[in-house]
Amino acid sequence: MRANRIAISSVLAAVGVLTIAQCAFAAESSPVKVINGTKVFKQLIPQDLVWGSASLSASTKAIEYQATEINSALDKLVAKGAVKVVKTFVKTSTTAYPDWKSYVPTFTQYKLSGLDANGKVVATSAKLPSDSANLASRLVYLKQSECAATGMQPSSLPVCTISNPTSEKYLRAALRTSLGNGQSEDLGGYIYQQLFTCLKGKKPFTVKSGVFDCPSNAKIFGGERRFKLQGSFATRSYSIVINSSKFTATMTYGPANYSKLALTGTYDSGSVVRFG
C-alpha cells in the first residue's frame, strides 16, 4: 500500500463510509460477510520452516552487511589509535517487539569505545546495529565486552570477533520483523473499506487474474483501486470470494502461511530481508 493510506481514516470519515466497527453493528446491510474477523492469531514464527534458496541468499547478503558495519566501526577506532575496544550497551526500547526473547539474545543496541595504550578513550562509534527496528540485525554483534582492536592484542584480551548466525536463525527473526505489530487489523480494515465502498454503491468493478479493480474507488482512496483477492499481512492471511451478480463478497481471515512466506525472502538493503 502507498503512504497515502496513513491518512485514509480522515478521508473515509469525510465521505461517511462505515468503519469496521460500524459495519459489524449494521452487519445485515453490509455486502461483505467477514469470517474470523475478530479472531486473534499468534505471531510466533515456527522454528522448522524450510527456507527457499532466494531467502537463504538474501540472508547471506544481510549478514555480510551487518559484519561489514561492525568491522568498519572497529577500523575507525584503530585509525584513531585504539588498541582496546570496550562495548557499552545503550538503552533501547523493546516496545516494537515485546516477544524479542523468542528470536534474539538481546534487543539492546551498543556503542564501541576505543582506548589507546594509556587507557584513554580516543573514539566512540555510533550505535550498533544502526537499524534500530530490525530483530534480525541483533544476531550479528561484537561478541566480547572488552577485546583487542588489532591482532597485536594485550595478553589479557581476546581478539575482537563478530557473531555469525545461521541463515535459518537470521531469516526467522527477519520474518518476524516483517510482520510488525498490530498491522493485521489496519491492513485488513483498509481492504474491507475498499470492498465495502465499491459493492455497497454497486459501482462497476472487474475481477481478473485474482485482482479486484473498482475504478470509482480511486477518488476516495488516494488513487488506489485494486487489491489482490488473496494475500497475507501481519499474523493473518485473507481470501475474498466475489459474487459479481449480487454485488456481495465473503472475506475470510486465516493464519498467515509461514511455509509459503519462507520461500519469498528478498534482500532489500542494509540488514533488511523482505517477504511476500
The pLDDT tens digits for 144-175 are 999 998 766 666 899 999 999 999 999 999 99
Give the pairing of strands 32-35 and 248-255: parallel
pLDDT tier, 23 (very low <50, low <70, confident <90, very high otherwise): very low
Predicted local distance difference test score (pLDDT) of residue 181: 56
- What's the rounded mean pLDDT across residues 50-54? 96
Task: Identify the top-confidence range among 24-38, 91-105, 147-161.
Answer: 91-105
Predicted local distance difference test score (pLDDT) of residue 178: 85
Task: Identify the top-confidence range among 23-32, 132-141, 206-215, 226-235.
Answer: 206-215
Predicted local distance difference test score (pLDDT) of residue 10: 35
CB-facing half-sphere around the CA of 234: CA atoms within 13 A: 14
Predicted local distance difference test score (pLDDT) of residue 256: 83
Predicted local distance difference test score (pLDDT) of residue 3: 34
pTM value is 0.73
pLDDT tier, 219 (very low <50, low <70, confident <90, very high otherwise): very high
- Give me 214's grid cell: 473498482
- For residue 76, what are the CA distances in angstroms to 89, 121, 267, 270? 19, 13, 27, 19
- Give the integer Cα–Cα distance in Å for 105 and 90: 15
Query: Is pLDDT of 263 > 90?
Result: yes
Q: Are the C-beta atoms of residues 236 and 24 closer than 8 Å to each other? A: no
Where do the structural domains in the chain lie, given as residue ranges? 3-45+179-274, 53-165
Predicted local distance difference test score (pLDDT) of residue 18: 37
Predicted local distance difference test score (pLDDT) of residue 155: 65
Give the pairing of strands 211-213 and 226-228: antiparallel
Predicted local distance difference test score (pLDDT) of residue 152: 60
- Give the integer Cα–Cα distance in Å for 40 and 233: 13
